Structure 1
Amino acid sequence: MIKRANEMSVTLEPHLKGGDGTTRVVNILEPNEMHGTGRLFGISIIPVGGSIGQHTHAGDFETYYILKGKAEVNDNGNIQELGPGDMTHCKDGDFHSIRNIGDIDLEYVAVILYSETKKEEAN
């Protein structure tokens, strides 16, 4: 499969998980293209001052890989500043949030895959 940039769907998520502003998600793969392994593989773009609110992962886990900008991440209570090339991983059962603390859009790869528990329930 090959997709051109203009063929990828874009989702607008206002106040995602109780956060500020509208997060834009470029869906590299649609959930049905992930063959039951997960529900998100995309580029998330958070505007200056925007955020995704604190939330807990249940039945899945999420990884962010920062491409552009400056983020403040709450990783299960551990607050850290991240920039391009940094990553954060939220395990099943843990919580996290992310805020754009820079002066340009924050862009990062976001991947949500199902945990073994969720996969077993699906079978």
Structure 2
Amino acid sequence: MAFIEPNPVQATEKAGGKGTVTIVHLLAEKELDGKCGMFSKVIIPPCCSLGVHEHHGNTETYHILSGTALYNDNGREVTLHAGATTFCADGEKHGIENASKTEDLVFMALIINK
């Protein structure tokens, strides 16, 4: 058994998004073992976003922990709240924006390699 120290990094205008987001990598490359590209907690402050991007050779799942999100699913926008889960398949596009002006959007992100 191992206890892993979270590794937070700041990303500005990630995937063409707005502002600076925090990505807390919960597992490193060694633990992901090539099967996953990322397992992280993502924190998006008010008025910030991850831009719309396309996945190639992998899929990505978001699970909303807190806050309100405006999620772009291949050009279709939907509002998400805590407890919602999304799935972006290989070859599809998605993006996510904090819809609140006062509270952070916090979610888990999992990228699974094909």
Structure 2 length-normalised TM: 0.94
**Distance between the aligned counterparts of 2:111 and 2:72, measured in 1?**
17
Aligned residues: 113
| 1:33 matched residue in structure 2 | 31
Deviations 1:16-44 (A, max 9, x none): 00101111011110122111101100100
Query: For residues 107 and 3 of structure 1, what CA distance do their matches in structure 2 show?
Result: 22
SS at match of 2:26: strand
Match of 2:105 in 1: 106
Q: Which residue matches 1:78?
A: 76
Structure 1 or 2, whichever has the larger Rg, is 1
Higher strand share: 2
State the Cα distance separating 1:67 from its structure 2 match.
0.2
Q: Quick one: which of 65, 68, 87 aligns to 2:66?
A: 68
* Equivalent position of 1:93 in the other structure: 91
Instruction: Report runs of 4+ in structure 1 exceeding 6 Å deviation.
Output: none
Q: Percent sequence identity over matched residues? A: 38
Alignment gaps of 5+ in structure 1: 116-123
Q: Which runs of 5+ in 2 are unaligned?
A: none
- Structure 1 length-normalised TM: 0.88
Distance in 1 (CA, whole Å) between partners of 2:3 and 2:20 is: 25
Q: CA RMSD in A?
A: 1.0
